[in-house]
Amino acid sequence: MTETPSLIDEVGAWINEDPDAVTRAALSSLLAAHTAGDASATAELTDAFSGSLQFGTAGLRGRLGGGPHRMNRVVVIRAAAGLAAYLKDRLGEGFSVVIGYDARHGSAVFARDTAAVVTGAGGRAILFDRHCPTPVLAFALRHLKADAGVMVTASHNPPQDNGYKVYLGGRAVTDSGRGAQIVPPYDADIAAAIAAVGPLSSVARPESGWETIGEEIVEEYTAAACVSRVPAAADLKIVLTAMHGVGGQICRDALRRVGFDDVVVVPEQFEPDPDFPTVSFPNPEEPGALDLSLALAREVGADLVIANDPDADRCSAAVPDPHTPGGWRQLTGDEVGSLLGEQAAELAAFAGTGVLANSIVSSRLLRRIAQAHGLGHRITLTGFKWISRVPGLVFGYEEALGYCVDPKKVRDKDGISASVRLALLASVLKQQGRSLLDLLDRLAREHGLYATSPLSMRVEDLSFITEAMERLRAGGGPAHLAGSPVVDVFDLLDGASDGNGGQLPPTDGLIFKTAADDRVVIRPSGTEPKLKCYCEVVVPVAVDEPVEVARRTAADRLERIKTDLKAVLGI
């Protein structure tokens, strides 16, 4: 075969610089196989060295392995050195960075490397002494008034992935985004600093010198998740799954502190396990992810199922429902968002001020809820880096199971605090002889039934997503959805309204609205190789009809919309 000297040289140079014996050995083995003519080894090396992982508003995320297009110690050390250089340039020596990590493969090492780099650059590194949930890191950033935060996690991605989230706070950000994940222009400035990092040998990495924190911050966080909350109004039997992640013990403790003593954990999924052996994807949204939880709920006669994702920044819930096969129904992210939004709006209305916010791909119902309580409402781009920095925020959510219920303490989605809030709401309703489903029915009667359902396509070839978006923009979008003509098309690259007279920054996405007031938002995922369609229908509820009739109408219309979208997208 024809050799590729440039690839061989690049791999060799990487091996010489890599401080990790495991990735050095793996790359050496691949290089030997490549030179022997192994096509699979050539493909793997070509991809691993096809470019660099791009640092952006989501930080870094990718497959573990050697090479610039993978998550590894070289990439992390460079990222940490760039972040430290950025902070030192803005703030001088003595800048502070708090560093947390989950239980994934490589997370602890990546976090320690970051602490060493920050220390070597003249900063104050504050490293968690064990793995922690993402919201605990976000809490620590604000609680300790640190200038930046780093969380090593790939959240709910597959086990072969890892990632690197960056937050700014303290002196680095002074507006309502203090403590939130980065947005432009911070991402570009930090990326430029990363690109300017020289040879790895020039990056100082002392063996010690950083501070460690642990149980004291976890205690402060847990207390904050429970403070100012009325205790449980009625007993609930709760089934809790941690999805093999790091939030199980803290979430169970928080629930017990507000009076929920009957919490039954899913034992197969409660302890951290980076291989996630019981699920295909450790994401509560994925089909089958809650099978063990629902089976246990039926067995013990539970009132509520709560599921956190592996880094515990997301919360999913399921409730008994006689209209659903199997007797249990997993609530959508929008339904939980509406329930928590109504709860937050009732609390904020007493103060007479506050803003509710949700991402542009989430349900339009939250705006109706805010208006009904005399509160403000904002629409943001997708991601809590945008939602959590809304001025005056009292509650924010996005349909992907993310809820910010206490922005003063945690400016990010927080699956543990959301679990506490939802359980307390369910207990109050139970005391009144009602349920979470009854509250959803009440909201439907007051505002109309807003029903949502996603259509996601995971792809191997990312060009499918690019070509699909180009085709839709060129007039290849749907003319009708569920029999109703499409009357408005909005290209989010041109910006969109934030619902309060402002404009959102441009982003890659399209909105299709029909004469029936149904809506579809189509956009590429920012963290996974997916094209995502967010479908929503609005069905009026007649005074004399059960809400379940409207739900069946909505479910049928959503399926018809998804059928139409599949035809347009060629899937």
User: Side by side, which strands form the sheet with 393-398?
Assistant: 376-380, 355-359, 393-398, 402-404
Q: Residue 200 is encoded by which pair of tokens? A: 């790895």
**DSSP at 228:** T
Q: Residue 236 in contact with residue 432, Cβ under 8 Å? A: no
Supply the DSSP string of 424-486, one letter for each residue: HHHHHHHHTT--HHHHHHHHHHHH-EEEEEEEEEE-S-THHHHHHHHHIIIIIS-SEETTEEE
Q: Which of 379, 376, 380, 377 is nearest to 353 (CA)?
A: 376
Bridge partners of residue 535, in order along the sequence: 453, 520
Beta bridge partners of 179: none
Q: Exposure string (b/e) for 296-306, b if CB count within 10 Å is 16 or more?
A: bbeeeebbbbb
Instruction: Report the candidate in 317, 351, 352 with the shortest Cα–Cα distance to residue 334.
Output: 317
Residue 385 structure tokens: 């880096």
Task: Give the whole-angstrom CA distance, residue 43 versus residue 3.
Answer: 13
Identify the residue whose tokens are 């997993």: 330
Q: Which residues contact 40 (CB under 8 A, 6 or more apart)?
A: 33
What is the C-alpha separation between 315 and 133, in angstroms, rounded? Answer: 12
Q: Which of 96, 107, 155, 419 does the annotation list as catalytic?
A: 155
CA 311 – CA 135 distance, rounded (Å): 8
Residue 420, CB half-sphere, CA atoms under 13 Å: how many?
Answer: 31
Report the distance separating Cα 137 and Cα 151, nearest Å. Answer: 7
Give the strands of the sheet with 510-514, arranged side by side. Answer: 449-458, 530-539, 519-524, 510-514, 484-491, 480-481
Tokens of 523: 């956009």
Tokens representing 498 are 């934030």
What is the distance between the alpha carbons of residues 367 and 21, in angstroms, rounded to a whole number? Answer: 53
Residue 155: name the closest of 462, 407, 384 by CA.
384
Is-catalytic flag, 155?
Answer: yes
Separation between Cα atoms, residue 41 and residue 18, nearest integer Å: 19
Q: Which residues contact 188 (CB under 8 A, 6 or more apart)?
A: none
* Catalytically annotated residues: 155
